[in-house]
Structure 1
Amino acid sequence: MTPPDLSGLLRFSACATVFAAPLEGYLLQVHGQLAKVAPALLVATWAVVRARQRRAPEPHPVHAVLGLFAVVLLASSALHAGGAYTLEYALRWLPFLLVTVVLIDVVARELPIRAVLAAAVAGAVVAAGGALHSIVALGETRATGPLEDPNDLAYFLVAALPMLVALRAPGRARTAALAVAATTLAAGAAATFSRGGGLALTAAVAWLLARRALPLKALAVAAGALVAVGAVAVLLFGPELDRALREKTHVAGTNVDTRELRWQAAARMLAEHPGLGVGPGGFRAGYPAASHNAEVDEQSPVAHNMYLEVAAELGLPGFALFAALLALTAVTGERVLRATADPLPVVAVQASLIAVVVASTFLSQQYYLPLWSLVAVVAAAHLRLRRTSDVACAPRDQ
């Protein structure tokens, strides 16, 4: 009996993993393990398919960096095995590293890059709809929807917005659908009142304009649509918006002070433990002591800076490898862009990665998928290009 072809399931599970990432909160409300179903299905299907094909992943420099990072992670975890959160956070890191390796291989071989971007946008649009619903129907002052923290939600929405550039195609229906998606994502991000999200989006749009991937006319139309949505919101929900702005203004000042405290604590941890850091989850466990109980009401926070938190928990070697992963992705993306005949997806991914890098200056986002999926897409695009070049250069039989 011929075994079933699982290539369709492999493509589906890859798209489902990317689609479901911003909807994690909704999935957890249904069942505590539901958010893990799509990634688990992806990894299991990939393992079966590759075992049948007797084919290993095509090597890429990203694999080496991820492998070394995993070694440092495990070494730090072993050194701090008695930590209150060490095992929990180590088990949060490892699936992202594994899923990145799997996505690189699947996108390089079976799944078009635009399909991955479309899945990410679709999931983010649903999340943005949830954000607007939380404002309009539930009366929240800042949009949350599928995620508890409005800043985390803004991170997903802003990371997805540049991807729309790669999905452009002729036809009024397609243009209208993209316009609706852009307006929904932008309105949802605005409803979070996230300043970091705003800075990240500004940086991403600047990159798209600089690379001439975003026409000024399209930007003007999108800005006009967002202004119109804002005007309607003011007319219908004026008092609620005023209250939300006042609350955000009050919270903003507090956030500046608390983030400064947390950044100082993370820097102090790194200075005291430069080798392998304080271990995965060590910032959360050690913050009260490192900050001298500066926040009595918050005893187990995040650093609100991805780079400082990684450095504090995994030391200088872990931070160096993490930074090398970002740098390698940036260099690889530029190399692909210069050689490819289809630049729009690459520019869109570059802009999304810029949004992720900027937003992560104010947020601890290493445990969310956008960063890892973007790294995977760039590496996969490079493998695709390398394979095409090898075929073009191969000698032909006369």
Structure 2
Amino acid sequence: MWLTVLLRVLACGTVALAPLEGYLLQVHGQSAKVLPALLIGVWLFSLYRQRRLPAPHPLHLVVALLAVVLLTTSAVHEAEPFTLEYLVRWVPFLVITVVLADVAAREVPVRALLAATVAGAVVAAAGGLLSVAGGSLRATGPLEDPNDLAFFLVAALPLLVALPARGRSRIVLLLLGAVLVAGAAATFSRGGGIALACALVWLIVRRALPVRAVVVTAAVAGVAALVFASAAQAELSRALQEKSHIAGTNADTRMLRWQAASRMLADNPVLGVGPGGFRQEYAAAGHNAEIDEQTPVAHNLFLEVAAELGVPGFALLIAFVAIGFMASERALRRVADRREAVAVQAALIAVLIASIFLSEQYYLPLWSLVAIAVAIERRSQKESRCAFST
């Protein structure tokens, strides 16, 4: 019993604290790694105590193959200065995906994980709004880059659909949704806005979200935005001017980096340039267009993974995402309550759309959402077997 409680606390804490990484790093440079490390350790102990292995799933094969590609291309590029650093960043996400998929299918209720994800994002959104109130022109809060904050917020917002909405809890969910929308809007992230719009369309099309709820949430967020705009008109004007200037620069730099990533892939299609290789090779591949940039990213998850891990790594990433969608779709055919599966699908869509404009492979939402989708499928299989046996 105590082991189950501990797994629940650690799993929920891991997903809740993911968007608050910046706050944790202010406490200690390694503090963000404590809960995930504890979760992995307790999970391994639980496997030993129960004398079992995780139930086989195609997810395990894809993760294992992705690990093989990572290790192989890292061995080939071991002499490069950033290879080991970025390999160490990759591996924990592969492990935590397997862990979350297993514990969410057995010990940890899926809805608890979704609620924890939303809770962490709401705190991050509040932190972002406070940073704007404190003088920042764009919401940052717990994360240095406003676009990264928007990524977490738009990934969490669709998950509200899966939470209980009866009586007063419905009002609470609308308020939480308004905070997330306001926080995302305050980042002025265009990619985040497009991602959120696509996720909402998916929820409406799949009949998981009534249009009225979208209108009410937007209205509450709109009123809050009007109040804020009237109270900070000068700051808002400066923020819009800065964003307008940055937008043009971002469009140019993104095109340069996408072209550079494409050249890297074309020159190294089998094993890419290795983890961290984009950072190392960008100046040369980009023809010294941004020679002073110290930590460049491709601003596109898919192109960056393809450039660094080659075609095999890119294919495995696509297979990884496809497993999440297929698992959730199979679950939809078995369960009476469709909200969890559809909400995870919508959140995954938000993650994928946002990742066209951002390099977000080193943040948790992509990995945790696929793991939760697999867990939903496994739980639906158990429920189907129980219903059949009775």
Where on the TM-score scale, by shorter chain, does this alignment land: which range?
over 0.9
* Alignment correspondent of 1:236: 231
SS in 2 for 1:199: helix
Matching residue within 165, 172, 175 for 1:169: 165
- 2:344 aligned to 340, 349, 365, which one? 349
| 2:139 maps to amino acid | A
Structure 1 partner of 2:210: 215
1:154 paired residue number: 150
Q: Confirm whether residue 43 of structure 1 aligns to residue 40 of structure 2.
A: yes
Work out which of the residue numbers 89, 94, 118 in structure 2 matches 1:92. 89
Which range moved further: 213-222 or 270-279?
213-222
Kindly state the Cα deviation for residue 49 of structure 1 after the two structures are TM-superposed.
1.2
**Amino-acid identity (%):** 61
Tell me which amino acid in the other structure corresponds to 1:106: V
The one-letter amino acid paired with 2:240 is: L
Structure 2 counterpart of 1:280, from 275, 281, 285:
275
Partner of 1:10: 7
The question of whether the paired residues in 2 share the 8 Å contact of 1:287 and 1:300 is answered with no
Does the alignment pair 1:140 with 2:140?
no
| Aligned ranges 1:243-254 → 2 under 5 Å | 243-254=238-249
- How many residue pairs get matched? 390
> Matched residue of 2:333: which SS?
helix
Quick one: distance in 2 between partners of 1:96 and 1:358? 20
Aligned CA distance change for structure 1 residues 110 and 223 (closer, same or farther; 3 Å): same
CA distance in 1, matches of 2:234, 2:249: 23
Alignment partner, residue 199 of structure 1:
194
Which residue of 2 is the match for residue 306 of structure 1?
301
The answer as to whether partners of 1:153 and 1:189 remain within 8 angstroms in 2 is yes
Q: Could you tell me how far apart the structure 1 residues matched to 2:244 and 2:39 are?
A: 43
- Cα separation, 2, equivalents of 1:117 and 1:280: 30
Q: Is the 8 A contact 2:137 2:236 kept in 1?
A: yes
Deviation at 1:381, TM superposition (A): 1.0
Tell me the equivalent position of 2:176. 181
1:373 is aligned to: 368
Whole-angstrom distance in 2 between the partners of 1:307 and 1:30: 32
Aligned counterpart, 2:98:
101
Following superposition, the deviation at residue 332 of structure 1 comes to 1.8
2:25 to 24, 28, 38: 28
* DSSP-derived class of the 1:6 partner: helix
**Counterpart residue type for residue 68 of structure 1:** L
In the other structure, the counterpart of 1:255 is 250
C-alpha deviation, 1:274, in angstroms: 0.4
CA shift for structure 1 position 297:
2.8
Corresponding position of 1:56: 53
How many Å separate the matches in 1 of 2:311 and 2:182?
39
Paired letter, 1:150? P
Asked whether the 8 Å contact 2:323–2:370 carries over to 1, the reply is: no
Contact 1:287 1:299 (C-alpha < 8 Å) held by counterparts: no
Rounded to whole Å, the distance in 2 between the matches of 1:10 and 1:67 is 23
Asked if the contact 2:165–2:173 (Cα under 8 Å) also holds between the matched residues in 1, the reply is: no
Question: Which residue, out of 101, 121, 126, partners 2:123?
Answer: 126
Deviations 1:241-287 (A, max 9, x none): 00000000000000000000000000000000001000000001110
What does residue 355 of structure 2 align with? 360
Query: How many angstroms apart in 1 are the aligned matches of 2:109 and 2:86?
Result: 32
Give 5+ residue unaligned stretches, structure 1.
none
1:337 aligns with 2:332: yes
Structure 2 unpaired stretches of 5+? none
The CA deviation string for residues 159-179 of structure 1, in whole angstroms up to 9 with x for no partner, is: 00000011132122x122212
Q: RMSD between aligned alpha carbons?
A: 1.1
State the one-letter code of the partner of 1:374: L
Distance 1:376 1:58 in 2: 13
